[in-house]
Amino acid sequence: MNFIIQDPIATTTTRIGAAARAVSRLAAERAGQLDREGGFPAEDVVHCHEAGLLAAPLPEDLGGSHLDAPGMAPVLLDVLAQIGRGSLALGRLYEGHVNALSLILRYAAPPVRERLAADVRAGHLFGVWNTQPQEGGLALAGEGAGTRLTGVKSFASGAGSVTRPLVTARRPDGRQQMLVIDLEPGQRADLSSWCAQGMRASTSGILDFTGLPVDAGAHVGEADDYYREPHFSAGAWRFAAVQLGGIEAVFDALRAHLGATGRGGDPHQAARLGESAIAVETARLFVGHAAALANDPEAEPDRVIAYVNLTRLAVERAGLDVLERAQRSVGLAGFLQTHPLERLSRDLATYLRQPGPDRALTHAAAYVLADARPADGLWHEPALAPPPVHAS
């Protein structure tokens, strides 16, 4: 009799991969209809829940698949890119959910973590809402049992649908406190400001928390933990992975168009397709190494931050290059709503906008300037060891 011994990590990876592909395929089919104000992908979120993807980042003892563990980074990368390829809006929402769970697992006290894990298993969608207007942002007011929230969060993906947002709120001493707030669906959200060119189904509107009570069970971590490095900056590799999926979707639409129209053999078209393939692979290589560095407990924190910052810019550049080439190659047809490229381009162009890109680049440049290692040792350990020094 032959016994087949199954590797539990390989089994989990196969199961999660299959779930992400199924979610991505159906999300791609529904994305066109959801490309409108208020078109939140509710069915896709339920699909994520039923396929085990909402709970996947939790450790096994909390009912998950350890997707947030450092050793699972390549799998998480594929899941994020896969979902982003099907629907960038769903990818944005799922990345926010994963980010929230990662912060909760890292910083929340055990009873808070266990209560919130039960909410995840029950199908609540989480998100991270940090962005706010210059005036009227979120703050904690009052003391003890009388503590309440005042103010709003803006560009809050899933506003009105995310029922467990992790938010940052200013404390009376000026420092920022992470809180997870229980919300009822459909309440307190104002989507009228979310009139964006793309990513409409991410419903990234305004949510007004004014008057909501806050108890100790809502607190996640200590003051300013949200900004603790290298995790704050390094976590950007995850949105870069979702962007990668959006770039691959545009690339696939370009290639399909060239195939269908028989224009791919033309040398100009072939050159643009080849350059696009380089851009896609550049983005994938950068995101892969960023994910590895960000999840390596031995990696130097400043090196991780610098590399992830470069990755943000490299992926943005790759996305802009593929967009430019796809629009030039397909021409006006790609700007008609009947063409797949039309929405994919708008979604990608919008989602490439992330905070402080200039700062990310100059921060990485400052690291490179100060580092004495030669170019081959900046981000990788050189394969060839330096020659031994012989005593004379």
Ligand X SMILES: Cc1cc2nc3c(=O)[nH]c(=O)nc-3n(C[C@H](O)[C@H](O)[C@H](O)COP(=O)(O)OP(=O)(O)OC[C@H]3O[C@@H](n4cnc5c(N)ncnc54)[C@H](O)[C@@H]3O)c2cc1C
**Given the complex with ligand X, which of 30 and 92 has the nearer CB atom?**
92
Q: How far is the CB of 387 from ligand X (least distance, A)?
A: 44
**Given the complex with ligand X, which of 113 and 346 has the nearer CB atom?**
346
Q: How far is the CB of 349 from ligand X (least distance, A)?
A: 10
For 306, half-sphere exposure in the C-beta direction (CA atoms, 13 angstrom radius) is 17
For 237, half-sphere exposure in the C-beta direction (CA atoms, 13 angstrom radius) is 26
Q: Which two tokens stand for residue 352?
A: 């490439």
**Given the complex with ligand X, which of 138 and 280 has the nearer CB atom?**
138
- Measured N-to-C along each axis, helices 267-294 and 301-330 cross at an angle, to the nearest 10 degrees, of 160
Q: How far is the CB of 83 from ligand X (least distance, A)?
A: 14
Torsion of CA 16, 19, 25, 28, to 10 degrees: -80
Question: In 3D, which of 327, 325, 330, 310 has the Cα closest to residue 279?
Answer: 325
Question: In 3D, which of 220, 223, 221, 279 has the Cα closest to residue 247?
Answer: 279
- Measured N-to-C along each axis, helices 8-31 and 88-107 cross at an angle, to the nearest 10 degrees, of 140
Q: What is the DSSP letter of 167?
A: E
**Given the complex with ligand X, which of 15 and 354 has the nearer CB atom?**
354
**Coil/strand/helix, residue 228:** coil
Q: How far is the CB of 361 from ligand X (least distance, A)?
A: 8
**Given the complex with ligand X, which of 157 and 295 has the nearer CB atom?**
157
**Given the complex with ligand X, which of 229 and 376 has the nearer CB atom?**
229
Site residues, ligand X (CB under 6 A):
92, 96, 127-131, 155-157, 199, 202, 204, 350-351, 353-358
- Give 186's contacts (C-beta < 8 A, 6+ positions apart): 160, 161
Q: What is the DSSP letter of 355?
A: S
In angstroms, the CA 355 to CA 169 distance is 19
In angstroms, the CA 79 to CA 96 distance is 13
Q: How far is the CB of 66 from ligand X (least distance, A)?
A: 25
**Given the complex with ligand X, which of 207 and 330 has the nearer CB atom?**
207
- Give 207's contacts (C-beta < 8 A, 6+ positions apart): 129, 152, 153, 156, 159, 160, 165, 183, 188, 189, 190
Q: How far is the CB of 388 from ligand X (least distance, A)?
A: 46
**Given the complex with ligand X, which of 117 and 236 has the nearer CB atom?**
236
**Given the complex with ligand X, which of 100 and 108 has the nearer CB atom?**
100
In angstroms, the CA 308 to CA 289 distance is 9
Q: How far is the CB of 14 from ligand X (least distance, A)?
A: 30
In angstroms, the CA 240 to CA 283 distance is 8
Q: How far is the CB of 266 from ligand X (least distance, A)?
A: 35
Q: How far is the CB of 171 from ligand X (least distance, A)?
A: 18
